[in-house]
Structure 1
């Protein structure tokens, strides 16, 4: 009986400890310059793209949920602060047949929709999507530009980790601890991919050197937590 009690106590302690760590920075992270972008309680530090009031999104039990019914010009949200060079960390979980993304260097003045200016780190239900996508449309991709290499998403009930590192023109995408995409903004290769692909008619796509971090409300439910950034 004593052993059962100890196991139960350890289990409860583990849960409590795990909850305590959600949307919190450690002393070392604070010392290293990390900033929490989502406090787990409300939308402080966020607003709607091209607007102020956030619509459809909810904060439930420390988790940021998009509306689940977004559209092409849906309720995408952005940080109230602009960032240039940074390391961004996000944990995310997606529901069946859902599609979302993380944007950076978003510029409200040069595009009607967030994707018209901001490169996108793609989030997708890779295994359950009902139709076949192009290789550059799966999780971890630089959407419609660069194909992720050896990217593996976790089962739908598990949290994935994303890290995006932007330093000057150099960008790295990490998915669950693995480097899956690496590219140079504004390079000859970048310009060539842009000219022959989805963004050929969007001259301002990927051209800004600073801008907002954004989360997409496109189709299906995606959840986010532990969103933090360190400026470089």
Structure 2
């Protein structure tokens, strides 16, 4: 009888532990994967798969005030220097000398809330480009810069998570969840929010973007208060060899002011 009670007590003690372990495992399984090489999740749209066909189908030039290139896109499809395959080089001839806005590339489709994955490789020291959310908010790519204007920063809004950068000649990944600014009756009521992982490490959590930076040559609403106009995902040409691959996006509808993931 005593042994029977011992067995029952042992089972009763074990069950909560098993339930807890299963709960943790299920929670971990639901957590979104981030980092270099992560494939498009369910219900996401692949924006660039390495092919010329997809590049021309889904991307075009942003024709801002400084635009000086012409279609078809002059961004070249080149060999991946690390893994083979094909990638795209942002070094458009029109942007030589760092003339941003001359040949920046933007998705034809425009977005509000989304989850975005972008992989990039800086080939040379000082390599410069940028990933623009809604063609207005920049997540910086700038080798060697550890300031608020530097690598991985929500430009001029956050510190650079430079410690997560893999360095020149290696692939890096931004995983971003973004919530667009909210308006009521044409008036701004909530600022845009962004959470970002850099190479699998959380770099920013619910950063409230206070304003648009960069001026009119840089993107929508440049140098002015933000508007309610949706915008595309833009990649910046600055006359540098910055390569891109494995770009995908999942549209969201974030009711709550929270982008953490």
TM-score between the two structures when normalised by the length of structure 2: 0.61
Question: Aligned ranges for residues 135-174 of structure 1 at < 5 Å?
Answer: 135-149=147-161, 151-168=163-180, 169-174=192-197
Count of equivalent residues: 181
Whole-Å separation in 1 of the counterparts to 2:166 and 2:120: 10
**Counterpart secondary structure, 2:156:** coil
Alpha-carbon distance, 1:184 to partner: 1.9
Q: Which runs of 5+ in 2 are unaligned?
A: 1-35, 80-85, 181-191, 216-221, 253-261
**Counterpart secondary structure, 1:212:** coil
Whole-Å separation in 2 of the counterparts to 1:177 and 1:134: 19
Matched, 1:58 2:76: yes
Please tell me whether the aligned partners of residues 94 and 221 of structure 1 are also in contact (alpha carbons under 8 angstroms). Answer: yes
**Counterpart secondary structure, 2:232:** strand
Matched, 1:38 2:62: no
Q: Which has the higher contact order (CA 8 A, sep 6+)?
A: 1
Quote the residue 2:236 is aligned against: 216
Question: In structure 2, do the counterparts of structure 1 residues 47 and 160 end up closer, same or farther at CA, with 3 Å as the change threshold?
Answer: same
Question: In structure 2, do the counterparts of structure 1 residues 54 and 125 end up closer, same or farther at CA, with 3 Å as the change threshold?
Answer: farther
CA RMSD of aligned residues (A): 2.9
Quote the residue 2:186 is aligned against: none
Question: Aligned ranges for residues 120-139 of structure 1 at < 5 Å?
Answer: 120-126=138-144, 133=145, 135-139=147-151
Whole-Å separation in 2 of the counterparts to 1:49 and 1:39: 20
Whole-Å separation in 1 of the counterparts to 2:199 and 2:160: 12
TM-score between the two structures when normalised by the length of structure 1: 0.68
- Residue of 119, 129, 132 corresponding to 1:100: 129
Matched, 1:179 2:202: yes
Whole-Å separation in 2 of the counterparts to 1:223 and 1:79: 17
Question: Aligned ranges for residues 14-93 of structure 1 at < 5 Å?
Answer: 29=41, 32-42=42-52, 43=55, 44-50=57-63, 53-61=71-79, 62-67=86-91, 69=96, 70-93=98-121
Q: Choose 1 or 2 for highest CA Rg.
A: 2
Question: In structure 2, do the counterparts of structure 1 residues 98 and 209 end up closer, same or farther at CA, with 3 Å as the change threshold?
Answer: same
Question: In structure 2, do the counterparts of structure 1 residues 24 and 80 end up closer, same or farther at CA, with 3 Å as the change threshold?
Answer: farther
